[in-house]
Chain A
Amino acid sequence: MDSADAADTVVVADGLTKRYGDRTAVRGIDIQVRRGEFLGFLGPNGAGKSSTLRMVACVSPRTEGRLSVFGMDPDRHGPAIRARIGVVPQQDNLDTELSVSENLRVYARCFGIRRREVRRKIAELLEFAALTDRAGAEVETLSGGMRRRLTIARALVNDPELVLLDEPTTGLDPQARHLLWDRLLGLKRAGVTLVLTTHYMDEVERLCDRVIIIDQGRIIEQGTPPELIGRHAPPEVVELRYPPDRQAIAAEKLAGLCERVEVLPERLLLFVHHSEQALSEIYRSGLPPESSLVRRSTLEDVFLHLTGRSLDD
């Protein structure tokens, strides 16, 4: 890679691999994250999202492959890289015996931020997390969602150029989620590079420029959310419910009316181009469903199609 590329690319991974003992969590993935980009990782439980993020955060040494962050090697320049990254871990690790603002203060000091600067920063981050009126409260007394907000605010204490968010919105109420989305988009506007993992597809559709779907440690698909939907799912979905004894027959008969049928225990999903037309054909075919629902196809449909619906490991 030439130097112009290097300046634009914050993270480069080639054949990145992580093994824990004889279990392989990440199997040779290639990633490039451009400066200012908002990248989303999707994948079922155990796919290797957190492992990947932890390697990029320079807290987990890679087993194999090449990795460079800000053009530096995590094995050799860990502290220098970590100084420029903000990390929101999947599990909160706040000091619950300290107050909200003390948590921010000690963390800021870990980054060597000067005391005077720290005071200003704390006020700003409390505002960010909407926790100003709880500044003096012990973390022990905060609700789960408040802790999550504090963890996210804490990750910004060093004005990071790259922010890694591992399921940041798990446990947040809708208000807090929307607030966070706006804050994250604000960071993006300010030029910060963001990498997020989540199980909420709407979050990815709303925030991310690009999505990488991983399963069992491998990248199985990537692109912008609209690209992925266009590639893997016809635009509309008709969801139908039938009594159990008639579902199989219906599935067979209706298959001809649509691009793809997915048979779930209680529902049939018909992927179609024109739902109105499909629906009237369904009623004409003499197989009226108990109920029907028409919607646009989403990233979630793509995700489930690509990674399978069962909970296998």
Chain B
Amino acid sequence: MILEWQAVHGIRNWRGALVGGLVIPLVTLAAIGFGLGAVVPHGAVGDSSYLRFVAPAVLATAAFQYAVAESTEPVMAGFKWQRTYEGVAVTPVTPRQMVIGQLLWTAAQIAASGALVALVMVACDAMEPLPALLALVFSTVGALAFAAPVMAFSAMVRDGSAFTALNRMIILPMTLVAGTYFPISQLPTAARGLAMATPLWHTVELCRDGGTGGPTSGAIAVHLAVLALWAAIGLAATFRLFRRRLTF
């Protein structure tokens, strides 16, 4: 039901969604992958071309950015700007169902826009079809795992300026250093540990593993476990905060 509510929104805002979900990652791919790729010597990032190195990361990063966009302002609007959550709170829908509905809708959008991005990447030979499909699945899963704690953050803070801080101090640095545009082996040790704790790094690794057929199923299991942990903590916090703010 909530899913449907969100869907009605989504259909009305499809132009905005298209810009955010498709144009931005593709411009990034063009600028970083082709542009920067042209000056990065072959072999600098393992045995693939820079374009192929960066493509799965661009997919994952785009998915994360989508997840952040869907889990910040819409949540604040629901609690405060429009109070639509209060409206739902008097229906049989429980706060927990509201959270799940919102996350499912976010996942659906991420998957849909990611699919388009992946298609274009395959078309311009930045990824192979099967790895692209795997990367699509992993990036959606990873972004969803990140959406949960971001949603908790949004339910906790009281005004929109917190989102600017979140973007500047967490999202942007994470996007730059979590093994996205260069391998984390380039980072100083302390920073490397930090990067390895981010859900984005694990997602990027998963997307890339699918692409290169490299590491083992053991590594995949570890990445997935870390993402599951982020999701579980985020979800538990979000449930609590939603209940607290809707039934006071």
Task: Give the residues in chain A near B247, CB-CB below 8 Å.
Answer: 59-61
CB of B229 closer than 8 Å to a CB of A? no
Does residue B9 face the partner (Cβ distance < 8 Å to A)?
yes
Q: Find A110's partner among B9, B82, B88 (CB 8 Å cutoff).
A: B88
Binary CB contact string for chain B from 225 to 248 against chain A (1 if under 8 A, 0 otherwise): 000000000000000000000111
Give the segment of B90-98, B121-129, B168-176, B178-186 that binds chain A. Answer: B90-98
A59-B247, A97-B12, A109-B1 known; A89-B86 Cβ under 8 A: yes
The answer to the question of A181 belonging to the interface, with a C-beta cut-off of 8 Å to chain B, is no
Distance in Å from the Cβ of A222 to the closest Cβ of chain B? 26
Residues of A within 8 A of B90 (CB): 57, 59, 82, 85, 87, 89
Return A207 CB to nearest CB of chain B, in Å. 22
| B48 CB–A CB distance under 8 Å | no
Flag the segment in A98-106, A186-194, A229-237, A244-252 that touches B. Answer: A98-106
For B96-122 the 0/1 string (1 means CB < 8 A from A) is 000000000000000000000000000
Q: Tell me if B8 is interfacial: C-beta within 8 Å of chain A.
A: yes
Cα A109 to Cα B3 in complex, Å, equals 10
Contact indicator A93/B86 (Cβ below 8 Å)? yes
**Does B212 interact with chain A (Cβ within 8 Å)?**
no
A85 to B92, CA, bound (A): 9
B137 interfacial contact with A, CB 8 Å? no
**Which residues between 1 and 56 of chain B lie within 8 Å of chain A, taking CB atoms?**
1-2, 4-5, 8-9, 12
How many chain A residues sit at the interface, stated as a range, is: 20 to 34
Q: Which residue of A lies closest to B83 (CB)?
A: A93
Shortest Cβ distance from residue B133 to the other chain A in the assembled complex, whole angstroms: 33
Chain B residues with CB below 8 A from A97, complex form: 9, 12, 82
A91 within 8 A of B: yes
Instruction: State the Cβ distance, B116 to closest chain A Cβ, in Å.
Output: 24
Contact with A along B58-88 (1 / 0, CB 8 A): 0000000000000000000000001111111
Cβ–Cβ contact A78 & B94, under 8 A: yes
**In contact, B87 and A82 (Cβ under 8 angstroms):** no
Q: Are A95 and B92 in contact (CB under 8 A)?
A: no
Interface residues on B, range: 20 to 34
Interface status of A112 (Cβ within 8 A of chain B): yes
Q: Are A111 and B91 in contact (CB under 8 A)?
A: yes
- Chain A residue numbers with a CB within 8 Å of B1 are 106, 109-110, 112
Q: Is A94 an interface residue (CB 8 A)?
A: yes
B residues near A95, Cβ cutoff 8 Å: 5, 9, 82, 84, 87
A93 x B82 contact (CB < 8 A): yes
Q: Is the CB of B89 within 8 A of A59?
A: yes
- Knowing A93-B87, A109-B1 touch, does A98 contact B92 (C-beta < 8 A)? no
Which residues of B lie under 8 Å from residue A293 when comparing CB positions? none
Given A82-B91, A107-B91, A110-B5, A98 and B82 touching (CB < 8 A)?
A: no
**Residues of A participating in the B interface, judged by any CB pair closer than 8 Å:** 20, 57, 59-61, 78-80, 82-83, 85, 87, 89, 91, 93-98, 102, 105-107, 109-112, 154, 158
Given contacts A59-B90, A80-B92, A107-B91, 4 further A-B contacts (CB under 8 A): A83-B91, A83-B92, A95-B9, A110-B5
Subset of 6 A-B contacts with CB under 8 Å: A20-B248, A59-B246, A59-B247, A78-B94, A96-B82, A97-B82
Q: Which 9 A-B pairs have the closest CB atoms?
A: A93-B83, A110-B91, A79-B92, A106-B5, A93-B87, A87-B90, A109-B1, A83-B92, A93-B86
